[in-house]
Each structure stands twice: as structure tokens, then as C-alpha cells.
Chain A
Amino acid sequence: MSYIKASSLAKQYGNNGIVVQAVREMSFEISRGEFAVIMGQSGSGKSTLLSLMGALNTPTSGTYSVDGIDVYSLRSDQRADFRREFLGFVFQSFHLIPYLTVLENVMLPLTTLKTKVQMKRQMASNALERVGLENKSNRLPSEISGGEQERVAIARAIVNEPPILLADEPTGNLDTRTSEGIMDRFQSLNSDGMTIVMVTHNRECANYARRVLQLSDGLLVN
């Protein structure tokens, strides 16, 4: 039974006659609890596909569903709720909010939940504990290392325990040893049942996944 399903998903950019087909008629299915990586050359459509899977972009054509929900038939606010409930994002450059502490950054996805602040704080502390940063919760992002910032980004992505984690080149800015640590955490999350879709250039990182979606010029080649 497929959990994530894309059917003839396409996205084109441009106007004034110059059209770029970033994603062409792509169909695939990902099962619940699967760890898949998307690989391909620069400009092959990896990031566009990830943004479509993250309900951040509107496809030009095709359908995309998660757990039976036709994501792009949802209204803007419903899609925001969908992102909050179903998805966790890890970006290549961490993208932590610089004026919030580590703990506050992790609490961000819980901001709009109608839950007591104390409970939110506990959830964020638990997430930080899972990535081994419970002792740095009061630091600002600028006061911790790149590897630690990536772990904070992972904690932020998993704090509300979403079923799907989307990661865009999460190890792109990290050294080999730190990258291995991050991938071990992803594997651990996956073994806990989280579905992970990760964009990467790195073959070694791809080895952690059970499935590789290879892209070329906006097409799925395997």
C-alpha cells in the first residue's frame, strides 16, 4: 500500500516563451516507513520535486497524495496544516531563526498548536535530547557549530513527530564525520517508523537509504 503517491507530476517554470520543465510527468510511490533518496545532477529537478512533495509548490499538472489526501486540492491554510501535521523539513543550510534560541527554534512548529507552553517546552526538550543537544538549548544558533545547527534543524523537523521527514542536502555543508552522525540519526528515525525522503549528491549518504530515485533533466530514470 503506497503512502506517498505521485501521478504524472509535472512542474514548469518561466514565462515570455522561455519555459523550463523542472519536473516532467513523474510518477512514483513510496511506502510508509521507507527511506528514499533522490539523486541527480544539479538542475535535474531534485529540489523542485522535494518542494512539490513538501506541499510548498503547486504542480503544473498531475496529482500528489499522502495517506490518501490529495495535497494540491487543499486550500492554502489546509496545506499549511498538512505541512505541520505530516511533514518535517531539514534544509541544506539549516535555516534556523537567528534571533531565537536553540530551544525556541525547535519549538517553532508547535507555535500555532493550542497546547500549553510547558508542554511545548517539554516536547522541544525531548527532541533536543534525541539529537544529543539538550545541554545547548539556551544558545543562539550563532553560538553552536555547523553540525550542531544541523542537529537542531533535525530536532525542529521531528519535534511534532511528523510521519514524513523531507531533507534537502542535509549533509551538504558538513564534514564526513559529522555527516555520518547525521545519517545515523536519520536511520534511527527511520527505524522508528518515520518515512524519510532525502535529496543528496553524496553516494555514501545514499547508501543509508533502501531506495534511490534517480533524476535526469526532470525525469525519473529508475
Chain B
Amino acid sequence: MTLKNIALSNLRRRKAKAGFIFLGLLIGVTAVVAFTSLINALTHDINHKLEKYGANILIVPETENLSLTYGGLSLGGISFEMKEIREESLQNLRNIKNAANVAAVGPMVLGAIRVDNRNILLAGMDFNVHRFLRPWWTIYGAIPDKDGLIAGSEAARILRLGVGHRVVANQKELTVTGILEPTGSQDDQLLFARLSTAQSVLGREGRISMAEVAALCAGCPIEEMVRQISEALPGAKVMGIKQVVEGRMETLHHFERFGIGISGLVMLVGALVVLVTMMGSVRERTSEFGIFRAIGFRRSDLIRIVLLEAGIISAVAGLTGYLLGLGITKASIPLFAEGHGVAVPFDPTLAGGILILSVIMGLVSSAYPALVAARLDPSDALRSL
């Protein structure tokens, strides 16, 4: 017979009370795990997408926008004064201070063409740098020559294109040299040709619609590079992709703060449930504690019994809460993340942390009831027999 046996036997006997304490802790722990792992998964997803995305700076023509509102209702806006980017102006990027950090520059021209009575977007790009800018591409076939093109998976399906097929666009015949494996992005809808070929087909020689810049180096000063490129290309709007997602990250941070607040509140309520239930349990066991004291248990022994019970329930609640929170995150992630395949991995640090948090919460909430049990006067306790 040990104090642990007494604690375990009492928990087995008072299942309802133990269950209530367990539930109070479980809800708090689950909320913390669900919020934390959801935030972690979403942040990880964004970071992963950023890392996967080859280009991390976008250069687009500068435009003026006019937003239209009628009677206070926003009806969108119109773009005007769209400036053009000349292909040769990209040479200016070689002269920026951080030119050494530029891994690849990918000019791109975009324009609609008509194929088999369907409008489809043709993208002209530099295939020498595509492995830097679109490292996730898998091409079934070959990179196009000056009279060739490759088709996005969806475009190929709609236009029934295969390798070797011919496409006539604006009186120019192009041969399909490859088909892209589905990427889950807008690339699936496009046809891709060499930049000069697309410029010729679209009648936009020497001009580009946008350019992608890959600065794939650890600790690249992206913000500083954006500023330098903006100075080098006065008619262009330069955006760091990281800056574009910062808005989303900011929303995520707001959500995180909200989650911490809600979790804290739920934990507090859980702690109060534990406190009240443990107090009730101690009062109910006054005579029992009186017997323990009469047969030679010290005050510290009673404290240890109460804290052992709280610790056992808290540890079980911590582990169950972690698994439940993880399950809730997995179930709810499609509501928060775009696309599929956002991983919610087992996180030993979070699991360990939550176990410790749960046990600390259980022990702290039970500290006062344990002290009350220890302070019971044995003669008063026995009088209640």
C-alpha cells in the first residue's frame, strides 16, 4: 500500500468526480492544442508554399486604379494608365547593389490567343531559367523550341492536345512538345512558349507583361532588393512575394492572439472546475482524512494524495487533450487552408509542453484543496464520522 495506491483507488471509486475534473482539464487542453496546432499548420503551410515558390519578387507594370463607389457601395475599380515594361530594361537589374543575390530573372509575356474557337492564355517565358522559377514543374515531353509550346494539363485536356499536335495561333503554327503534370495552380490553364515566340504571336515584340525574380539565398534582404529594383525600373511595380503574404500572416497573427485569449479563458474555466470539484471532494472525504491523520499520516501525506490524484487526472487529460486537439485541427484545417494536403504532424514539443501545462494546471488548481485537506483538524474530522 502506497500513497499512489490510495490515490488510484479513490479515483476508481469516485469516477464521476474524477471524470468531471478530467473533462474540465480536457476542454482547456484541447482548445490550446487545437488553436496552437492550427496556427502552426497554417504558418507552416504558408512558409512551405513560400519556400516552394521559386520566384520571390514579382515585377509588374505600374497601373493607376480608380475605385468605383455608388451611394457608398463599392463596385470594384478600373485600371488605367497601364505602363509597359521593355524587355531590355531588365538589364538594369544587373546594376543593383544586391545583383549578386539575384539567382534568376524570368521575363514573361501574357496574351490571349484563339485555338479551336476557344480563348486561351499564351505565356511566353525564358525556359533557361524555368527550373529556378518553377522548380515544381514536371514536363512530359520536351522544352519547346522556337516553333513549339507546352500545354498546362487542363489546357491540354480542354483542347485535346498531346505531344506532337499542332496549334495554329494568329496564323503561326506551333507544335506541342510537352504537357505539364498538374500543378494545382493557374499554370494548368495556360500554353507556354518561348518568350520571343510568344511576343511574335501576340505582336508584342520587345515587351513583357511581368517578370519574376528568384533570390534564393538564405537571409536575402528581400525588402531592400525590392527597393533597389523599384529604383532600377521606374515604370514597374515591384512586390516581394513575402510582402504579399504578410497580410495573410498578419491575419494569422490576429487569429493566433484570439486563439491564445480563448484558450486562456477556457483554461481558466477548466482550472476553476478542477478547484471547485477538488474542494467538494476534499470536503466529502473529511472523515477519511481524519482516519488517515489518526493512524499517523502527516499533513504532507494528505497533500501528496490530493496532488497525486490531480496529477494523474491531469496527465491523462493532457495526453487525451493533445490527441483530441490534433484530431480537431485535422478535421477543421480544410476550413482555414486553401487546397489540400496541409500536414498536421505529431509535434513532440507541443505534446510534451501540453502535458506539462496540463499537469501544472491540475496541480495549481488542486493546491488549495490539498492545503485544506492538510489543515483539517483530526479531532474535528473524526467528529464528522
Contacts and interface: CB of A to CB of B under 8 A. Distances in A.
B299 A89 contact: no
B13 interface: yes
A95 B292 contact: no
B296 A56 contact: no
A76 B374 CA distance: 11
B293 A91 contact: no
A107 B297 CA distance: 13
Nearest to B287: A95
A83 B290 CA distance: 13
B294 A100 contact: no
B9 A100 contact: yes
Given A56-B294, A99-B13, A111 B6 contact: yes
Interface string B284-328: 000110011111111111000000000000000000000000000
A108 B295 contact: yes
A184 interface: no
A85 interface: yes
B291 A95 contact: yes
Count chain A CB atoms within 10 A of each CB in B3, B295, B296, B378 and give the residue with the most.
Answer: B296
Contact of B299 (A80, A109, A156): A80
Nearest to B9: A99
Contacts of B5: 104
A32 to B, nearest CB: 21
A112 B296 contact: yes
A120 interface: yes
Contact of B293 (A56, A85, A93, A99): A56
Given A57-B379, A98-B13, A91 B385 contact: yes
Contacts of A84: 295-296
A143 interface: no
B48 interface: no
Contacts of B12: 99
B293 A77 contact: no
A54 B385 CA distance: 16
Interface string B111-151: 00000000000000000000000000000000000000000
A3 to B, nearest CB: 19
Interface in A63-97: 76-77, 80-81, 83-85, 87, 89, 91, 93, 95, 97
A38 B188 CA distance: 99
A109 B296 contact: yes
Contacts of B6: 97, 100, 111
Given A51-B379, A98-B13, A111-B6, A83 B295 contact: yes
B338 to A, nearest CB: 54
A81 B295 CA distance: 9
B2 A117 contact: yes
B369 to A, nearest CB: 19
B10 interface: yes
B295 A120 contact: no
Contacts of A99: 9-10, 12-13
A81 B300 CA distance: 12
A110 interface: yes
A57 B379 CA distance: 6
B382 interface: yes
A206 to B, nearest CB: 23
Interface string A111-135: 1100001001000100000000000
A46 to B, nearest CB: 13
B385 A76 contact: no
A77 B378 contact: no
B75 interface: no
Given A81-B296, A83-B296, 13 more contacts: A51-B382, A57-B379, A76-B298, A91-B385, A97-B6, A97-B291, A108-B295, A110-B1, A111-B1, A111-B3, A112-B298, A124-B1, A156-B295
22 contacts: A51-B382, A56-B293, A56-B294, A57-B377, A57-B378, A57-B379, A77-B299, A80-B299, A81-B296, A81-B298, A83-B293, A85-B296, A91-B382, A93-B385, A97-B6, A97-B291, A99-B12, A104-B5, A108-B291, A108-B292, A109-B295, A112-B301
A-B pairs, 8 with minimum CB distance: A84-B296, A99-B13, A107-B1, A57-B379, A56-B378, A109-B295, A80-B298, A56-B379
